[in-house]
Amino acid sequence: MADAPYALYYWPGIPGRGEFVRLVLEQAGAAYDDVARRPKEDGGGIPAMMRCLAGEGPGLRPLAPPVLVHGERRLAQMPNVCAYLAARHGLVPSDEGTRAEALQLQLTVADLVAETHDTHHPVGKGLYYEEQKEQALAYARQFVDQRMPKFLRYLESVVRANAAGGGRHLVGDGLSYVDLAMDQVLRGLEYAFGRAYAHYAPELPGLVALREHVDALPAIAAYRASERCLPFDEHGIFRRYPELDLLPASE
């Protein structure tokens, strides 16, 4: 789809932060060129992404992927790209105040993503996990005992407050990009921290129901059954390392 209105640039081997953008594009039914997923011989691969980061393209040079090119704009930062697409495709309410609430929640989900990443890279983003395993274990312990439940209980309270107003989403009256991101994080946490996920899930009925709802959306289900969707593995954000998959300490 080299003539699609959107071009996405992201690491071709992992779902990572690119997946949050893909879910918005897929739910919107928008055509997009997932550039680095195309073969190198076809102008794709990591070299294409690196050219985009080095300066090639319209608009502002980005620091890091995911990057979305749309006409004369080259946008980065996952929550920003998702919010931009959502506004164009009816995946966020149009009033300024509700959009600010949605962005607030998306940034909170992004913070949870960043802390999940840091469970295997607490000390050095330029080092391998194998070089920081001891620190990773300490980080994972406080993540599983304190940070993961803090974030998830907060987000559960948000979906419950929405439910009290008659909704079943995180913000507003209908599906938004924030719900798509929440779904992806819950799947990632279950993959990487399966014991903690199972431990906390019973107190998170609102989030679990939201996840079931998003997983069953026809466009999302079709995407995940396709070859376009990459599985989680131990090169991305959500990694299943048995030694870090800790059972939470009793509170």
Q: Which residues bind a copy of itself (CB under 8 A)?
A: 59-63, 72-73, 75-77, 79-80, 83-84, 87, 96-97, 100-101, 103-105, 107-108, 114, 118, 122-127, 135, 138-139, 142, 146-147, 150-151, 154, 157-158, 161, 171
Instruction: Tell me how far apart the alpha carbons of residues 220 and 238 are, in angstroms, rounded to a whole number.
Output: 19
Residue given tokens 């939470």 in the structure block: 248
Least separation, in Å, of the C-beta of 2 and a copy of itself? 23
DSSP line for 41-98? GGT-HHHHHHHHHHT-SSSSPPSSS-EEEETTEEEESHHHHHHHHHHHTTSS-SSHHH
Residue 143 DSSP label: I
Q: Show the tokens assigned to 98.
A: 């509700």
Least separation, in Å, of the C-beta of 175 and a copy of itself? 18
Residue given tokens 């009033």 in the structure block: 95
Cβ-based nearer residue to a copy of itself, 40 or 61: 61
Cβ-based nearer residue to a copy of itself, 113 or 230: 113
Buried b (16+ CB within 10 A) or exposed e, 105-138: bbbbbbebbebbbbbbbbeeeeeebeebeeebee
Cβ-based nearer residue to a copy of itself, 19 or 220: 19
Least separation, in Å, of the C-beta of 249 and a copy of itself? 13
Least separation, in Å, of the C-beta of 229 and a copy of itself? 26
Cβ-based nearer residue to a copy of itself, 8 or 217: 8
Least separation, in Å, of the C-beta of 90 and a copy of itself? 15
Cβ-based nearer residue to a copy of itself, 79 or 188: 79
**Which of helix, strand or coil describes residue 33?**
strand
